[in-house]
Amino acid sequence: MNQLAEELNEVLAGTAAERLLSETGRHMYFPKGIITQGAEASERAYRFNATIGMAYEHGQPMMLDALRKELPGLTPKEAVAYAPTTGVPELREAWKEALYKKNPSLNKKNVSLPVVVPGLTAAVSYICDLFVEPGDTVIVPDLHWPNYRLIIEERKMAAGITYPLFSGNGYNVEALLEAVRQAGRRRGKAIIILNFPNNPTGYSLTLEEADRITAGLLEIARTGTDILAITDDAYFGLQYEDNLLCESMFARLTNLHPNILAVKADGPTKEDYVWGFRMGFVTFGGRDLADQQYDALTKKLAGIIRSSVSSSCSLSQSLLLKALNYEGYDAQRAKYRAILEGRYKAMKKKLGSMALPKGLTPIPFNSGYFMSFYCEGFSAEALRKKLLDEGIGTVSLVDRYLRVAFSSVEEEDIGELCEAIANAAAGCTIAAAESR
């Protein structure tokens, strides 16, 4: 093992973060190579800086006029230069400040400086690189983003353990906690992913459900189980009903117990409507973790980044930083959020007023971009194909659920969409009955 990795492990020794590390995580470190030497040169090389492999002209990175014309508001450094491995420092600071603003429960809790990664998929994948290895189990609900399975089972060769997401019309809190208890008894640790608003159902926790999960995880941690809680907050802040948890569970789990390490995966993709920016953030939070331990975790994560993509896109980071500092930023975000809420309410109202065919049941939803139907007695894939023949795109999942992204449909068209789904489902029901 490299000496730098051993030094980082020593810094983390005795913490849940150290106990939870995978073998990859234990071996990971940020090398004192070209990047580090280049950073030193940026501060001290006042005559010539011949370190980083970029081409300069008159003190600025070279930039084609074809790009200058399209990016008049950015300097060459902001537009085309390499970003630091962990991200543009000013953006990281701005995102951390925003975390405290958006999550009041984080007040006075010490968390790491967010690290920039190339998207939310990368965020979850890199976290798993640090903490998940073959033989581990990662606890996710039965209704989850399909990419989890690809990351957990195929990339990490671990096992994805599921539990029923719903109990009645609410979140199945006890099933989640029982899965954590069982994992703790088997291996002394448990790894969970909490995704709210949930993809594909569009469900967010009620305040009461959030309280029960927090209390339950605290009770389990007190028995000696180490818990890694990954909060996938891709759709953060898009709750449309009262009495819902509008903060991240990260805010509640950070500093809760020394045996719990919370890791937040979030980003501007859906929050700021920049899907193609391919940018996310990873933030660590744990009780009794000081800046020294957070720095060690950050350097290990930087090693993961350096050994894969090297660094995230500087152009996207520069644009987001300018947006965060833009005077009308909050008002513009609120405008688009209101449009999404209007589409959600139109969907809710239409489904509540119409008679749906037998076997087509809406799953509880209260937030986010999506809602889903449970298809009983007929194939969800058959329904998807039938709708596609009518010019309507939806997504079928495990042949039992149909996911509908109301976020991408104009509010005035929601009613027509619901009617079309209902009519197509009725046809599928008849066809399925005739084939039996």
Q: Same domain for 234 and 136?
A: yes
The residue whose two tokens read 């009613």 is 415
Reported residue count of the chain is 436
Closest Cα partner for 235 from 124, 368, 123? 368
User: How far apart, in whole angstroms, are the C-alpha atoms of residue 402 and residue 380?
Assistant: 6
Range of the structural domain that residue 75 is part of: 31-82
- Say what the pTM is: 0.95
Phi, psi of 111 (to 5 degrees): -125, 170
Domain boundary among 324, 355, 390: 324
Specify the pLDDT at position 155: 94
Specify the pLDDT at position 353: 97
Cα 18–Cα 24–Cα 29 angle in degrees, nearest 5: 75
Q: Same domain for 173 and 314?
A: yes
Q: Is 104 helix (H, G, I), strand (E, B) or coil?
A: helix
Q: Is 150 helix (H, G, I), strand (E, B) or coil?
A: helix
Q: Are strands 189-195 and 170-171 parallel, antiparallel or unpaired?
A: unpaired
Q: Compute and round to an integer the Cα radius of gyration of the chain.
A: 24
Q: Same domain for 39 and 102?
A: no
User: Any long-range contacts for 90-95 (C-beta under 8 Å, 24+ apart)?
Assistant: 90/321, 91/116, 91/317, 91/320, 91/321, 91/324, 92/116, 92/281, 94/321, 94/324, 94/325, 95/281, 95/324
- Find out whether 421 and 409 touch, Cβ atoms under 8 Å: no
Specify the pLDDT at position 36: 72
- What is the mean pLDDT, run by run of 10 residues, along the chain of 436 residues? 96 98 97 75 75 86 94 94 95 97 95 98 98 95 96 95 95 98 95 98 98 98 98 97 97 97 97 95 96 98 96 96 94 96 98 96 98 97 97 97 98 98 94 78
The number of domains in the chain is 3
Specify the pLDDT at position 32: 84
Q: Same domain for 156 and 107?
A: yes
- Find out whether 248 and 236 touch, Cβ atoms under 8 Å: yes
User: How far apart, in whole angstroms, are the C-alpha atoms of residue 154 and residue 131?
Assistant: 15
DSSP for residue 116: E
Q: Same domain for 13 and 67?
A: no
Specify the pLDDT at position 357: 96
Specify the pLDDT at position 250: 98
Written as one string, the DSSP assignment of 40-72 is HHHHH-SS----SS--EETTEE---HHHHHH-T
Closest Cα partner for 105 from 207, 216, 235, 240? 207
Assigned token pair, 35: 């990047």
Domain boundary among 49, 64, 82: 82
Phi, psi of 292 (to 5 degrees): -65, -40
Q: Same domain for 131 and 178?
A: yes
Closest Cα partner for 323 from 146, 94, 41, 170? 94
Specify the pLDDT at position 369: 98
Which helix (H) or strand (E) segment holds residue 27: the answer is: helix 23-27
Written as one string, the DSSP assignment of 338-365 is HHHHHHHHHHHHHHHHS-PPTTEEEPP-
Task: Name residues whose C-beta falls within 8 Å of residue 252's C-beta, 6 or more positions apart in sequence.
Answer: 105, 210, 214
Specify the pLDDT at position 435: 77
Specify the pLDDT at position 432: 80
The residue whose two tokens read 């350096």 is 306
Q: Same domain for 161 and 76?
A: no
Q: Would you state the torsion angle of the CA atoms of residues 117, 120, 124, 130, taken in this order, to the nearest 10 degrees?
A: 0
CATH of the domain at 352: 3.90.1150.10
